[in-house]
A and B are shown apart, each in its own frame.
Chain A
């Protein structure tokens, strides 16, 4: 392939990496703002979302130009499709992080449940690790990480279910926490959704490496 193509693909790769770094930071800051009750930081996350959305549009345009003008096939084609598809999920992850930041602002000042906030911190740590692992794998398009990501996501799902129960029991025990609790329910739901988007990112890695379109979250046997 020509150096023009290589240059443009490199730009696309850079777009994607930038987006990944930004989104990872969004998750970190939004959950930190939530746990620390830091409204100012939350606002920063909300304000910064435009940049991530702008990066996604840039990446999409680059990818479309590459497909239409360079007409890549085989591996190059799969790489571009993987970037294009995963940019949508990255952008959604960013939206979910913004959702968490908005909850920070709304929930501030109401009676809380410290033990739930601890679990949220734990889930966040997990999610960020998953995202880092999958983005790291994108640098070499190595799909070996996929089974690990799916397992991690199952753990997130379990956390989600158990934490939900803890929250509802908490409301019954202390109705004053109801406002905070509704926010917790929202936040753990958003975190759980982020987990699903990270699984999607792993799916595109599998596609890129093998050419197979898979649905990893549903059944584990597709991984073997």
Chain B
């Protein structure tokens, strides 16, 4: 495995819902040009952890987060951190595709317009670029004015990814992005992630062991709010250190 630049460093991450500690001190680093898969049974804290990385948990009542989160060396929980610009840098894709109820074009152009870009030529160019990168251009190029919601789930998800790519994030967080999709659409998204990964730091929460093994460079296995094992995907899938990792991968629990 090549050593890439570490983009995200998190140390002793603890998250409390009221008094209840849901994450028990997670230490994880993420590198550029790599896909890292977070796996573990439901309720193990993987999505909760993922949402810490673009401060989505801030919106939840009575949540306390401690520990250190650094992206490119900057503490993302520092008081002067602008959350909107953080979420621009750290984009997120959810389980259910959530395009805005506008045209495909306006969906992808949305973030650019928010940024204040007015030049139509530049916007059109970036829309096309992003849709191409998200591997959905060929399917939507003749229907750019059609409502994004009229496309299939798989296409909607890729439109959402294009919308995210348009604002040029550094980090892409994906929370079970294909669990609502059929195998062909899932394969398209996996293939697309592999194609774009060189330019980004990608973290994906997935319940599909196959997906984790097929596309990720590194895998982190979490259980009951603890990080059990983290390492090269090949190592985790062929020869994990922990018995619990092996048991989970073999479907013995979870």
Contact = CB atoms under 8 A, between A and B. Distances in A.
A36 interface: no
Nearest to B216: A69
B238 A64 contact: yes
A2 B238 contact: no
A11 to B, nearest CB: 15
B237 interface: yes
Contacts of A64: 238
Interface string A67-78: 011110000000
A2 B233 contact: no
B238 A68 contact: yes
Contacts of B210: 71
B191 A68 contact: no
Contacts of A4: 191, 194, 214-215
A219 interface: no
A176 interface: no
Interface string B207-230: 000100111000000000000000
A69 B194 contact: no
Interface residues of B, number: 12
A2 B190 contact: yes
Contacts of A51: none
A70 B212 CA distance: 10
Contacts of B234: 65, 68-69
A62 to B, nearest CB: 12
Contacts of B237: 68-69
B187 interface: yes
Contacts of A70: 213-214
Interface in A23-39: none
Interface in A95-141: none
B187 A69 contact: no
A179 to B, nearest CB: 50
Contacts of B213: 68-71
A3 interface: yes
A161 B237 CA distance: 50
Contacts of A3: 191
B180 to A, nearest CB: 20
B178 to A, nearest CB: 13
Nearest to B239: A68
A3 B233 CA distance: 19
Interface string B116-138: 00000000000000000000000
Interface string A153-179: 000000000000000000000000000
Nearest to B249: A68
Given A2-B194, A4-B194, A69-B213, 7 more contacts: A1-B187, A2-B214, A3-B191, A64-B238, A68-B234, A68-B238, A69-B234
Interface of A: 1-5, 64-65, 68-71
5 contacts: A2-B214, A4-B214, A65-B234, A68-B213, A69-B238
Q: Which 3 A-B pairs have the closest CB atoms?
A: A69-B213, A68-B238, A68-B237
